[in-house]
A and B are shown apart, each in its own frame.
Chain A
């Protein structure tokens, strides 16, 4: 079945370091791909998305490119801040009839000053 796999955390970085959080997926058809962020005690916020192969989603300095050939959607940021500390979820949408999002297990990012 459809699934999303993320790198395990926690990921601990110093401020201004480069961030990569790996995400790979398995899906039939052509899913849309998303990154959501969850700050402590809060709900999920959409960070970025891509709806077709080779699309690049970007927001707040974060980027991810939909790579169909490697079935990946890795999240990157050139210079992280302490305020980026949160849990990041990669997700895919399985189709227009259900709206169901399938999430990866989440990766906790801790950024130290």
Chain B
């Protein structure tokens, strides 16, 4: 019973070639989050949506964008991936911002 689904699980893109990662949820949660996790590091929040309200972290590079067309789906767009953007990207959801976050399995992005 997958609740937070991320596709694809593994993504390879070329340096500078735009890439989109997707996340969907069956929990009907209001809030969706995108985290970046580099090897052997803690996840770092990039941004989150509270319903359709977009909230960007101050240190998230402009290269990273996001879309949430409806409650169930959220996309992470990387406009011009650099080698430093290679990481695991984790999507999470919660009912409200102070509730438990449910994580997807992540998409591992490789930049060649």
Q: Are A100 and B105 in contact (CB under 8 A)?
A: no
Do residues A89 and B42 form an inter-chain contact, with CB atoms below 8 A? Answer: yes
- A97–B48 Cα distance when bound, in Å, is 11
Are A49 and B98 closer than 8 Å at their CB atoms? no
A18-26, A66-74, A101-109 - interface stretch? A101-109
Bound-state CA distance A97–B96 (Å) is 9
Residues in A whose Cβ lies below 8 Å from that of B45: 100-101
CA A96 – CA B94 in complex, angstroms? 12
| Residue B55 at the chain A interface, CB threshold 8 Å | yes
Contact status B42-A44, CB under 8 Å: no
B103 contacts A99, CB within 8 Å? no
In chain B, what residue has the closest Cβ to A87? B40
Bin chain B's interface residue count.
Answer: 20 to 34
CA distance A93 to B94 in the complex (A): 13
Q: Are B90 and A43 in contact (CB under 8 A)?
A: yes
Q: What's the nearest-Cβ distance from chain B to residue A93, in Å?
A: 6
Cα distance, A84 to B40, chains bound together (Å)? 18
Residues of chain B in range 18-49 having any CB-CB distance to chain A below 8 Å: 31, 33, 40-45, 48
By the criterion CB–CB under 8 Å, are A42 and B105 in contact? yes
Taken together as a complex, chains A and B put the C-alpha atoms of A13 and B57 apart, in Å, by: 38
Bits for B37-71, please: 1 = Cβ < 8 Å to A, else 0: 00011111100101000010100000000000000
Sampled A-B contacts (10; CB under 8 Å): A41-B105, A43-B104, A44-B103, A96-B96, A99-B33, A99-B48, A100-B57, A103-B43, A104-B42, A106-B42
Q: Which residues of B contact A (CB under 8 A)?
A: 4, 6, 31, 33, 40-45, 48, 50, 55, 57, 90, 92, 94, 96-106
